[in-house]
Structure 1
């Protein structure tokens, strides 16, 4: 069944294949175009470098008018990611969503957030505290997540 949401997701996928942003990959499941798997590679020259972070993106038939639900499958120690369920605290996905955003924009924004966290709006208060008060310990915890990301 072709719906506006499904047609848009197919367009998003074709765009990702033709012009993929650096360090990002995503594709719909073979059985449901509303369920995607994404991968964000830790950006070079950051504490996340070398990490391979897997995510799920779940869309509704209201896409692109409503944002997807994005969750990390890989554990990521970061002020703006919920450590328990992998949820992402990103203004673009909550308050600033617009139909002009596509899958590439969502993943690029999350990748950017890896390098430039917002500790003033934390999903993980411990990560936010360490990021602001003890960067060495924060980096150590992130590095553990990077190394564990290779095992999944």
Structure 2
């Protein structure tokens, strides 16, 4: 656990020194294993104008196991569950795809990237993915309505 805390602290310091566009981070606890994340919807996306709260939970054996990233703000998106968990389908976070060389910053940037371009072929909400593929106008209308309602 001491090794994990050291690595997490180093990555946090790197992110603070060079913050990524549209993403803010705030550790919740002193041991740095839980962070509040805020991601602003990219200007060019249907999520523009929204601010999304996420929770990053790092395992005690980080970086050998991937972190867990979940949306706390409801979002209409094929890659985020529509339940109170807000689980995110992001390839890099799967145990079989995670590598210890991966960094928290890459995870956060990929999460913001999914706001720019959802991946309906790797969806956790299949009905939303189908709508995205077959009726993009309806998808965008609903997504924008959810941004107004939930991502203030």
- The TM tier, using the shorter chain, reads over 0.9
Is 1:40 the counterpart of 2:39 in the alignment? yes
Equivalenced residue count is 149
Aligned 8 A contact 1:13 1:27 in 2:
no
Following TM superposition, the consecutive aligned residue runs of length 4 or more in structure 1 with deviations greater than 3 angstroms are: none
Partner of 2:65: 66
1:117 maps to 118
Structure 1 counterpart of 2:130: 129
Q: Tell me, in whole angstroms, the C-alpha distance in 2 between the residues paired with 1:40 and 1:82.
A: 17
User: TM-score, structure 2 length as denominator?
Assistant: 0.92
Q: Tell me, yes or no, if the aligned pair for 1:38 and 1:57 is still in contact at 8 Å.
A: yes
Q: For 2:68 and 2:113, how far apart are their aligned partners in 1?
A: 18
Q: Contact 2:77–2:143 (CA<8 Å) still a contact in 1?
A: yes
What is the TM-score of this pair, normalised by structure 1?
0.92
Identify the residue that residue 146 of structure 2 maps to in structure 1.
Answer: 145
Gaps of 5+ in 2: none
After superposition, residues 3-42 of structure 1 pair within 5 angstroms as 3-42=2-41
Deviation at 1:59, TM superposition (A): 1.1
